[in-house]
Structure 1
Amino acid sequence: MLELRKDTIGRASTISESVEVGLRFIGMWPHCVYANINWWTYIVSVAIMQYFQYAYIFAHFDLSHLSVFVDGLSITFGYSLSFLKLINLWFNRRKLFAILDTMNKDWSDAIHSDMSTMIRYANWSRQCSNVMITTNALAVFFYVIGGLILRSMIQKNDDSIRELPIKMEFPFKVDYFPIFELILILQFFHDLSVACIIAMLNALLVTLVLHVSGQIDIMLQGFMEISSKHTSRSSLDAIKDLVNRHQRIIDLSEDIEDLFSNIALLQFIWNTLVICCIGFVIVISIGTEEGATTITKSLIFYVAITLEAFVFCYAGEYLSAKSKSISDAAYECLWYDLTPSECRILMFLMLRSQKRLTITAGKITDLSLEGFTTIMKSSASYISVLSALY
């Protein structure tokens, strides 16, 4: 733990190394070398994958083989969500750069008493980022590699049927050596990169919310300085610092809202569809000959997609709950020892903090645990409908 804290102080950033590497990989890090080349190379590769995936969907639209169709549709929708997220991030990259610049200023302006709080939240950010990226990487491994291994065991060395784990329709035959093996390897590594990039974006949201939470905690500590007999600072100076910090927190949270609002809306819509498709495949595969294969490759994918929706909703819920603590701390400070003019300033701060900081889905609804419940309920309803059709 001591070594982790030393590293955090050295980097002086809430952004974890894994998130920074992911942003540099897609050219979304400030002053990144060859940023445009990295971005266009990656986004074109995702677009090519999407073309062949949707070609398969349109070529194999057959309700008599609904399970195969929905299985291919689930991973295709997952790729589409990733593609739309990256496009949205590209159009809002200036907002992202402004947020990262603000975070760097918070670290450079932090005094010694603030560092312990910021380091604690930076450590949480690293842990959450590693967990999310690892979960998505495991989901890809079990979906691609695990499914192939189990399918080969069931077929008992019968190579007459060779299926790619990610359903695609090519204008040429791919079931011959070495074309099949090359495409399989390309699919695995590309799917792994997409999964890690999407986990990185989710981790970025968590990191930004944790950074704002750290600033709120520092602000709550500042209320204790008001009317304190053990500090040389006047109460008016302490209140002015609190007002300035509160305004910076509001500005930063609004920038985060602008950056992730459209992404959260896409998350709501697409996660409902993807969770529905994967859940349907798992349900109908129970008790079948290839049930073990399907469940093995789909279960962790289902967990990863569900975790993705939960992270967005919980981040919005956590930010809203954290912002409410500002007005409570202002009321609980020693305001009765202040002068009338100081009390008026503090009252305006309390009134401003009554408006919750939040993240919305397309400016329509707040991200909350209630929203996550809605996603799961809707997905379960759609699963029952598909099961009835099947």
Structure 2
Amino acid sequence: MGSIVNPAVEFGLRAIGIWPGSPRAMLCRICWTVSLGLAQTFQFRYIIACIETNNFPDLVDSVSTTLPYSLLCLKLIILWLNQRLFNDILTSMLRDWRNCDSIALNMRIMMNKTNVSHRCSMLIIGIYAMAVVVYSSVIIELNNMDTNAETSEKELFLKMKFPFVHEFSPIYEIVMFVQFIQLLSNASVIGMLNALIMTLILHVSGQIDIVCRGLFELFSGKREYKSWKNATGAVIRKHQDLIAFSDNIEKLFSYIALLQFLTNTLVICCIAFAILTRSRIRLIAEVFLFYIAITLEAFIFCFAGEYLSNKQIDRKYSLRSFWYDAKPNESRVLLIIMLRSQKRLTLTIGKFNDLSLQVFGDTLKASASYVSVLLTMS
């Protein structure tokens, strides 16, 4: 399976304890549960303190860093609860690759999709890691530039309220180091999950291209099977496997997408508010890169849904052309595929709405309208 999934994505899946056959899966899950549980406890304590002291700017700022942690917790819970479904998805991918071994052109199609997914995976994970490094370095530099750092409260990477005093050395350095490691690991896992959805969608895209190629060869007479019955059976089975694989992806990521857009709308709104209200250029630069990373997360899901829908349209056009060119007795074979193709392959937001670039635009518009409300409240 390592060849069909980027090594960085595989490492991340092993780290969160969902990769099939991972020897320390339960230990990894316990570590993530304890780590995120403690972080969320201290973050929500800070939010409650901001509400009690009527500190609205810090409240908005803390919400923007707390919600991504909450979303990651919910994502991991959904993946852990759907371990068997995730195993079925990886098994289907492995079966598709094995079926391509004997056909050079099909293997070339899948290799092209895999190369693209590997590049996208490294780019996505790299952007999230870079956002953490820039964010952390800006906080450290601002703390060093503060001439009253010995008397005033130093800023942490994540706004938390601890049950102990952390402002003095070496407790402060230890807390900062732990927060940096947690920030980097959490951001990498978020990027890994976004890269995973792109890998799965590109795999579906490659299988659609293979089905279209099989239909072309079926009705052009240049088919790999000598028997017409075997050739048509192979195409129909491939099409059915493709639909089942797409349905499994939808089941796994549908409610993750719903939670994604509920939280991302609020987070984008809070970050935009921070950009408009902060005066120091370094702080604005730090928050702006964080804004890009959060916006990218919503864009990836919408792009995946849009890309899958467009591939569906391409296949329908191919079916129509085959229908007109086929002989009367051969055109009956297309009836099964055409009937099954009426069900669109797409990703949805909790079964309510299809993921598309239009949804992404609506999310940005909604966030912008909420920013004006926050500015009025402040």
**Structure-2-length-normalised TM-score:** 0.95
CA distance in 1 between partners of 2:230 and 2:216 (Å): 13
| In 1, Cα distance between equivalents of 2:315 and 2:343 | 10
Specify which of 274, 278, 289 is matched with residue 281 of structure 1: 274
Residue 152 (structure 1) shift? 2.5
Say whether 1:348 aligns with 2:336. yes
Amino acid at match of 1:351: L
| 2: CA distance, partners of 1:138 / 1:159 | 29
Residue of structure 2 aligned with 1:25, choices 5, 8, 15: 15
Instruction: Pick one of 323, 327, 343 that aligns with 2:316.
Output: 327
CA distance in structure 1 between the aligned counterparts of 2:125 and 2:2, rounded to whole angstroms:
22
Instruction: Give, as a single letter, the amino acid of the residue that structure 2 aligns with 1:272.
Output: T
Change in CA separation of 1:230 and 1:321 when aligned onto 2, cut-off 3 Å? closer
CA deviations on 1:230-268 (whole Å, 9 max, x unpaired) are 446344433322211110000000000000011000001
Equivalent residue number for residue 233 of structure 1: 226
1:64-213 map, 5 Å: 64-110=54-100, 111-153=103-145, 155-156=146-147, 158-161=149-152, 162-213=154-205
Cα drift, residue 55 of structure 1: 0.6
What are structure 1's unaligned runs of at least 5 residues?
1-10
Unaligned runs of 5+ in 2: none
- C-alpha offsets along residues 259-298 of structure 1, whole Å, 9 cap, x if unaligned? 001100000100001001111001111xx2xx22321221
> Is contact 1:50–1:76 with CA below 8 Å preserved after alignment?
yes
The AA in structure 1 aligned to 2:339 is L
* Distance in 2 separating the partners of 1:334 and 1:88: 42
Are 2:367 and 1:376 aligned?
no
1:356–1:173 CA distance, 2 compared to 1 (3 A):
same
Equivalent residue letter for 2:298? A
Q: Tell me which amino acid in the other structure corresponds to 1:358.
A: T
Distance 2:33 2:324 in 1: 55
Could you tell me how far 1:332 is from its partner in structure 2? 1.6
Structure 1 letter corresponding to 2:30: W
Query: Is the Cα contact below 8 Å between 1:12 and 1:107 reproduced in 2?
Result: no
RMSD: 1.7
Calculate the TM-score normalised by the size of structure 1.
Answer: 0.92
Deviation (angstroms), 1:384 = 0.6
Distance 2:334 2:61 in 1: 57
Q: Sequence identity, in percent?
A: 44
CA distance in 2, matches of 1:335, 1:115: 29
- Shift of the 67–55 alpha-carbon distance from structure 1 to 2, 3 Å rule, reads same
Amino acid at match of 1:237: N
Q: String of CA shifts for 1:284-342, please: whole Å, max 9, x gaps.
A: 11xx2xx22321221111000000000001101111111122221122237534342x3
Q: 8 Å contact 1:225–1:238 — kept in the other structure?
A: no
For this pair of structures, how many residues does the alignment match?
Answer: 374
1:129 partner amino acid: S
Matched, 1:307 2:307: no
The more displaced of 305-314 and 214-223 is 214-223
